[in-house]
Amino acid sequence: MKINVPTVHNEARLGDIAKTVIMPGDPLRAKYIVENFFDEYTCYNNVRGMLGYTGNYKGVRLSVQGSGMGIPSMGIYSKELFEGYDVDNIIRVGSAGSLSNDRASKYAKDVKLGDILVARDVDTDSNFGISSGYEELYPIASEKLLNILLKIKDNVKVGTIFTSDVFYKDKEKLIEVSQSDVMGVEMETYALYLNALSAGKNALAIFTVSDNPILGEFIDSEKREKGLNEMIEIALELAIKCEKEEMI
């Protein structure tokens, strides 16, 4: 479907948003990215405080847009970007929880605080796919974006991420999830990947492991900032390559 813009959620006009968008969940992280990494930028959206910016990073025009928390919010903003603003690539940057515990599978047990994860595919407990008419689609990352990323950074952990509808999930339920071949848990990527597949566009999600909700562990603020900056830099380099490839 084609979505008319501006929308009730995004006041940007056609042409205001670049073909490649970096998408953190927190709109203030979008602000942090442009303030700390971009040479220049303008704000194209402030509706509901969901900040969106377009600017210049190393001579390349890119956008950064918050998605909000959870599948419903990501479902709205990513769909509007793909099908209203004709965005080709969305690169999600966010935090994920490790599910490492004594009863976990090898994949879950190997994930440490501070690791950088990349979601090749997604498992979930959400009915978003059915409700959206996407039940025939399998939520996977863009092979194109994943291959480019692995040329930039080949020591990230790539695998399955679990997207949960519930933040304060029962620990026994999380342990059950950890016994399957998953790397970690978060709340948005399932919607992003399904919207990308439906629109014939590209999406990839990159995470810094910030906590372990089963064991109650968290990385300290200094390590968190360092890990987030590393993830952001990887995403920005990936975005540059996407944009340069489009210009060839």
What DSSP string describes the chain? ----SS-SS--PPTTSS-SEEEEESSHHHHHHHHHHH-SEEEEEE-GGG--EEEEEETTEEEEEE---SHHHHHHHHHHHHHHTS---EEEEEEEEEE---TTS-HHHHT--TT-EEEEEEEEES--HHHHTT-TT---B--HHHHHHHHHH--SSEEEEEEEPS-SS--HHHHHHHHTSS--EEESSHHHHHHHHHHHT-EEEEEEEEEEETTTTEE--HHHHHHHHHHHHHHHHHHHHHHHHHHH-
Tell me the pLDDT band of 248, cut-offs 50, 70 and 90. Answer: very low
Q: What is the per-residue pLDDT for 247?
A: 47
pLDDT at 2: 82
Q: For this structure, is 220 an active site residue? A: no
pLDDT of residue 48 exceeding 50:
yes
Give me the catalytic one of 102, 154, 211, 220. Answer: 211
pTM (2 d.p.): 0.96
Q: Is the pLDDT of residue 11 over 80?
A: yes
pLDDT tens digit string along 132-164?
Answer: 988 888 999 999 999 999 999 999 999 999 999
